[in-house]
Amino acid sequence: MKTCIACGMPMKKESDFAMGDTSKAYCIYCAKEDGSMQSFEEKKQSLVNFTIKTQGLDKAVAEKAVENMMRQLPAWKAFF
C-alpha cells in the first residue's frame, strides 16, 4: 500500500490515486483537475479548511497543526 506524499492518506484502491493512475505518488484529494499535484499553498489551504471543518479548531491553531503535519511529508520537505 502506498501513502500519498502530499497528505499522508493511505492509497489502497486504484480510485484513491490521482486520475486513477497507480504510478502517481499522490491521491485524488491532492490532484488538480488536470491530474497534476496541488501546489504547497493550495494543499495547505485545503488541509487547513479540512482541519477546521472536521476538528472544530480556530484558524491559527489549524494552520499550526497542518504545518506540523506537512513538515513530515515528502512532497513538502523543501518548504520547511
pLDDT, tens digit, for every residue of 13-65? 999 999 999 999 999 999 999 999 999 999 999 999 999 999 999 999 999 99
pLDDT of 13: 97
Q: Cell triple for residue 59?
A: 484558524
Per-residue model confidence (pLDDT) at position 39 = 97
**H or E stretch including 59?**
helix 59-70
Domain boundaries, the chain: 2-79
User: What is this structure's pTM?
Assistant: 0.88
Amino acid at 64: K
